[in-house]
Structure 1
Amino acid sequence: MDGGGVAMHPAIVPLAHLLGKWRGQGEGGYPTINSFQYGEELTFSHSGKPVIAYSQKTWKLASGEPMHAESGYWRPKTDGSIEVVIAQSTGLVEVQKGTYDTGNKIVKLQSELVGNASKVKEITRVFEVVNGELSYVVQMATHLHDLQPHLKALLKKL
């Protein structure tokens, strides 16, 4: 799944530290919902093309019942910019643009478009690898609330 045996395209080498399967826990909240905790698995893989395939699934910690899922593609450019498209199981789609910093292992994304969403106006995502652990923070703005934290998680590579 991580492209085993397929030569890595030079465009994705700066993000090679993300490749593989990550698992951990997260927590979410927002003014309009009750706070919650979840288990999560993220996978970053490649096929030899200048793109990273991304998939994510979450589940309720207590029951293991599936919650959210999303998948998409990360397209890093050689100038340090990146384009990301994500389709969510809720029917919402995101087109994100941002930057990656290879030295600090940080990817920062800002929504250019949030499609098929009646309430969500903006989404930002920041991914960071520190001491071999992947963390992220997702912030969201709706028609009622300004941009603020919605999700955060800490994952370890399997």
Structure 2
Amino acid sequence: MEGDGERGPSPAPAGGASPPLHPGLAPLAFLLGRWRGEGEGGFPTINAFKYGEELTFSHSGKPVIAYTQKTWKLPSGEPMHAESGYWRPKPDGSIEVVISQSTGIVEVQKGTYDAEKKVVNLQSQLVGNASKVKEITRAFEVVNGELSYIVQMATKLASLQPHLKATLSKL
């Protein structure tokens, strides 16, 4: 029986096809796929900067979305930041998210989603292994086929304020 620990993982579907979408993920199907674009960042303690970015939201047939993100400097292409995690939507419109950053920071986020408006709003419950960061919020929205987001951050020295924003197109 699947998940009983006595058998290995199920084989990948023939031909590289995606497994059927779990019904619990249907409200967030608008996120699934690869997105690429450009963003900009800043904060009172750092200089403003621009970056290229790619986000991927994928699934394995289970009621969870796998999330990966990578950024690079414009125009050099030099790698900047990367993170990955899992998004677990609940039938009541709430969502739980865990994100591990390449900097060693771990976020546990909770929030809400609205399938009709194609929005997800996240609020940190825990920011682990961060000596300066106290709070992170993330707001995602899909409008006219483009994914945009705003990340806000609070530190020991600065209140919650915009840190990153980007607009990405589906590949």
Q: Please, which of 105, 124, 134 is the counterpart of residue 147 of structure 2?
A: 134
1:9-158 to 2 correspondence within 5 Å?
9-158=22-171
Unaligned runs of 5+ in 1: none
Q: Which amino acid aligns with 2:95?
A: I
SS at match of 2:91: coil
Q: Which amino acid aligns with 1:103?
A: E
Report which of the two structures shows the higher radius of gyration computed on alpha carbons. 2
> More strand per residue: 1 or 2?
1
1:5 and 1:37 map into 2 onto residues whose CA distance is 34
2:138 and 2:17 map into 1 onto residues whose CA distance is 28
Kept in 1, the 8 Å contact 2:18–2:60? The answer is no
Per-residue Cα deviation, 1:79-129 (whole angstroms, up to 9, x for no partner): 000000000000000000000000100000000000000000000000000
2:154 and 2:25 map into 1 onto residues whose CA distance is 30
Identity of aligned residues (%): 79
| Deviation, structure 1 residue 62 | 1.4
SS at match of 1:58: strand
Runs of 4+ in 1 over 4 A off after TM superposition: none
SS at match of 1:62: coil
| Deviation, structure 1 residue 4 | 3.4
Give the aligned CA root-mean-square deviation in angstroms: 0.8
Question: What TM-score, normalized to structure 2?
Answer: 0.90
